[in-house]
Structure 1
Amino acid sequence: MPWNWEMPGWPDFRYDAAAMAPLEQRFLLSSGEILGAVHHVSPSERDQLRIDLLSEEAMQTSAIEGEMLDRQSVQSSLRRHLGLSPGTYPTKPREQGVAEMMVDVYSTYAVPLTQDTLFRWHGMLLSHDRHLEAIGAYRRHGDAMQIVSGRQDQPIVHFEAPASAQVPREMDRYTDWFNRTGPGGADPLPALTRAGLSHLYFESIHPFEDGNGRLGRALAEKSLAQNIGQPSLIALAFTIERARKAYYDQLERHQKTLDVTPWLDWFAETVLTAQQVTLDRVGFFIAKAHFYDRFRDRFNDRQAKAITRMFREGPDGFKGGLSAENYLSITGTSRATATRDLQGLVEMGALRRTGALRHTRYWLNLVAA
């Protein structure tokens, strides 16, 4: 079976626009909800919210590719690139690169896409990698660009991209399409349709030696931001990472056809889920601010350290709740002191307790009494 880029009509993808219309409407409504929720965050706290959302996306877009990053290093790098006080935590090259790219995507979303933009992002993302032949440039090697898995002697080829010699011409056509289909372009497309097509189209060209997945997701973010007229800040990579197998299965299936309605439907539902995740996170951030207002100066140093650690786990909290053993590990205190500290947190209403004996677990109490 030929790949999509080998088929007559490439790159004119076919899809059912009518089937997408209800999803497009839901996206616009949810975008308004997110904007309204963010307005409930005080101006002084919006920078931290932006750091939290961008750092989670940076972490997860790398995790999809099997790369684990240091969250504190990512956040420190983001703060530096956003012109905020970076703190004292050291930044590392890998984390600094992805943070720099995320900030560039965020701050230049309205600017038309150029190939120099892509080269800049690629250079930021992979400047630390000494094994790549081409950084900040399209791939040049003569070997086939394949996505493979399985044993080395019996590889399974999931996809083969156009030859390197074809990439510049394909990318000329891609950047023209991206700008032409944006708001104010000659052939504007609705938000979800354009973002879904932009991602699949880019991944099917696979123009770089490495980093294509991260750049393709950045392009989807740029596309969505252009369509709604502001950075989306939605948890797209986070949501894709949670459905990583389905994501790769969908890409593989739709790199063998130009009929892509099922891909667009899957991608749209993923974006809508990501929007809800973002709404939940904004709500969590607001609840966190109110929590600290209620309990300001009431925690001892050990309790404050444990509470900070619990908030770092995000809306889902510790899997299964905070145990006394968790508290001991976080604070390094004695068991008797841990028992008194936890009891004090429950009594003041900062934590709620479930279970008994060794099954006792503690949860943040984010609802004011």
Structure 2
Amino acid sequence: MIWNWTQKGWPQFTYDAVQLTPFENRFLASSGEIIGAVRHLSDEERDLLRIELLSDEAVKTSEIEGEMLDRLSVQSSLRRQFGLNVDTRPVKPQERGIAEMMIDVYRSWSHRLDHETMFRWHGMLMSGNRHIGTIGGYRVYDDAMQIVSGRHDKPTIHYEAPPSRQVPEEMTTYVEWFNRSAPDGATPLPAVTRAGLGHLYFESIHPFEDGNGRLGRALAEKSLAQNLGRPSLVALAHTLENGRRTYYDQLERNQRTLDVTEWLVYFAETVLEALETTLKRVAFYIAKAHFYDRFRGQFNDRQEKAIARMFREGPAGFLGGLSAENYIAITRTSRATATRDLVDLVTKGALSRKGERRHTRYALNLRYSAAPRI
């Protein structure tokens, strides 16, 4: 099989820049909407929003690789990293590690890329991992680095990366390209084009023994942040996880060619979808803050617990809506008390109600305002 790195011209990718111009313009406009919306939050609310968005990205970027993390534990670790009050929830090494990496990516967005930064991220990411030989350094083993699926005795090879002996030189070239293509570099590239190229380029080298997908997505976030001139809040991993099969298919197809127009169009569409997701989440968080302002001091302890649980479900809410049975399970109260509490919440305007009898479902009654534009 002929992979991209075996072809004449590697790593000089080609693409149709004209096709990407509308995506670049939409990216800048949508990013401006998010920046404008976040400005309407207090400093405390911004910190909490960052924790929610970063924890979601941490969990989703891990889910793409088949690793399931506890969201609340990741949030607890993020709060500690931000110097905020934390609970006593136990945090596993991999949850603490991904949280540390996300914070480091967020805080060091403007720094030039170097090998040591990626080694540091890899060390954080692999916290507690005892199954790989090299942590905090590029792979060194002699076996081929392959992406495979199927039966062990008859695997399907989706991609084979350059041999380990080539990785240091390949990554030196990559780091030089990343910094040269930055806004203040010698040959700057537009935001989405640069992030898309950087991600595919990094995944094609596959320089680490494990964690390449998560690190590659972190580099895409860093790239976007540098072009925006501020930390990125793009829900990239969240969006990629929702379309994981397409993501892998696009990577596989475009790791066999140096003409990557198809990949960049796909990546641009994904980034724009991710921005829309982020904008909805920001609007949801602003509505949440307004909700608690409206109903401060009006709920009993059971209602407070149920409302907080509903907000943790995010903008989509409970699948099909909150039922009386859900309320009973959350608050561990009787059916009669649950009925009184729910009627009270509807009467106060905190919840809306649909359906009758056992089909009755409840939803948060949020007031969304139009996202500010700048």
Which TM-score band (shorter chain)?
over 0.9
**Offset, 1:347:** 0.7
CA distance in 1, matches of 2:311, 2:145: 43
Equivalents in 2 of 1:108, 1:57: separation in Å?
17
Quick one: distance in 2 between partners of 1:259 and 1:166? 22
Amino acid at match of 1:365: N
Is 2:325 the counterpart of 1:325? yes
- Displacement of 1:80: 1.2
The correspondence of residues 324-343 of structure 1 with structure 2, limited to 5 A, is 324-343=324-343
In 1, the alpha carbon distance for the partners of 2:318 and 2:25 equals 35
Deviation at 1:242, TM superposition (A): 0.3
User: By how many angstroms is 1:88 displaced?
Assistant: 2.5
Deviation at residue 168 of structure 1 after TM alignment: 0.4
What residue number does 2:281 align with? Answer: 281
Cα separation, 1, equivalents of 2:165 and 2:71: 38
SS of the equivalent of 2:157 reads strand
For residues 82-137 of structure 1, what are the alpha-carbon distances to aligned partners after superposition, in whole Å with 9 as ceiling and x for unaligned? 22222332222111000000000000000000000000000000021011100001
Q: Secondary structure at the match of 1:207?
A: coil
The aligned residue for residue 314 of structure 2 is 314
**Shift of residue 56, structure 1, vs aligned partner:** 0.6
Give the counterpart letter for 2:357 in structure 1. L
1:115 is aligned to: 115
Secondary structure in 2 aligned to 1:318?
Answer: coil
TM-score, normalised to structure 1, is 0.99
Cα root mean square deviation, aligned: 0.9
Q: C-alpha separation between the residues in 2 aligned to 1:188 and 1:174?
A: 15
Which amino acid in structure 2 is aligned with residue 258 of structure 1? L
Residue matched to 1:64: 64
Structure 2 letter corresponding to 1:98: I
Aligned match of 2:129: 129
Partner of 1:264: 264
In 1: Cα distance, 2:201 partner to 2:86 partner: 37
Residues 163-187 of structure 1 deviation map (CA, whole Å, 9 limit, x = unaligned): 0111001000000000000011011
Q: Distance in 2 between matches of 1:277 and 1:165?
A: 41
Aligned-pair CA distance for 1:195 = 0.1
Consecutive unaligned residues in structure 1, runs of 5 or more: none
Letter in 1 for 2:46: R
Does 1:17 pair with 2:26? no
Q: Secondary structure at the residue paired with 1:315? A: coil
**What letter matches 1:317 in structure 2?**
G
Shift of 1:43: 1.9
In structure 2, stretches of 5+ residues that fail to align are 369-374
Aligned-partner Cα distance in 1 for 2:105–2:300: 41
Task: Give the whole-Å Cα distance in 1 for the aligned partners of 2:140 and 2:323.
Answer: 53
1:360 — aligned with what?
A: 360
Give CA-to-partner distance per residue, 1:211-247, whole Å, 9 cap, x none.
0000000000000000010011110000000000000
Quote the residue 1:229 is aligned against. Answer: 229
Amino acid at match of 2:48: Q
Match of 2:48 in 1: 48
Mapped to 1, the partners of 2:357 and 2:293 lie a distance apart of: 31
SS at match of 1:259: coil
Q: Which amino acid aligns with 1:211?
A: G
Map 1:246-257 → 2, pairs under 5 A = 246-257=246-257
**Identity %, equivalent residues:** 69
The whole-number CA distance in structure 1 between the counterparts of 2:265 and 2:61 is 21
Match of 1:151?
151
**Alignment match, 2:175:** 175
Confirm or deny that 1:80 pairs with 2:80: yes
* Counterpart residue number, 2:372: none
| Structure 1 counterpart of 2:371 | none
Give the structure 2 partner of residue 216 of structure 1.
216
* Rounded Cα–Cα distance in structure 1 between residues aligned with 2:345 and 2:329: 17
Q: Aligned partner of 2:82: which letter?
A: L
Q: Report the alpha carbon displacement of residue 159 of structure 1 after superposing the two structures with TM.
A: 0.3
1:132-154 deviation line (CA, Å, top 9, x unaligned):
10000111111110000001111
How far did residue 79 of structure 1 move? 1.2
Q: Which amino acid aligns with 1:310?
A: M
Measured against aligned partners, the alpha-carbon deviations of 1:245-271 in whole angstroms (never above 9, x if no partner) come to 000000000000011001000000100
Q: How far apart, CA to CA, are the structure 2 residues paired with 1:41 and 1:239?
A: 24
Q: How many residues align?
A: 368
Distance 1:281 1:127 in 2: 30
Q: Deviations over 1:12-57 (max 9, x none)?
A: 0010011111100000111111100000111221110111111110
Match of 1:239 in 2: 239
- Supply the AA of the counterpart residue of 2:22: P
Following TM superposition, by how much is the alpha carbon of 1:76 offset from its aligned partner in structure 2, in angstroms? 1.0
SS at match of 1:36: helix
**Which structure's relative contact order is higher, taking Cα pairs within 8 Å and 6+ residues apart?**
2
CA distance in 1: counterparts of 2:35 and 2:211, whole angstroms: 31
Q: What is the aligned partner in structure 2 of residue 89 from structure 1?
A: 89
User: Whole-Å Cα distance in 2 between the matches of residues 124 and 82 of structure 1?
Assistant: 17
Shift of 1:358: 1.3
For residues 24 and 246 of structure 1, the distance between their equivalents in structure 2, rounded to whole angstroms, comes to 22
Cα distance in 1 for partners of 2:204, 2:365 equals: 47
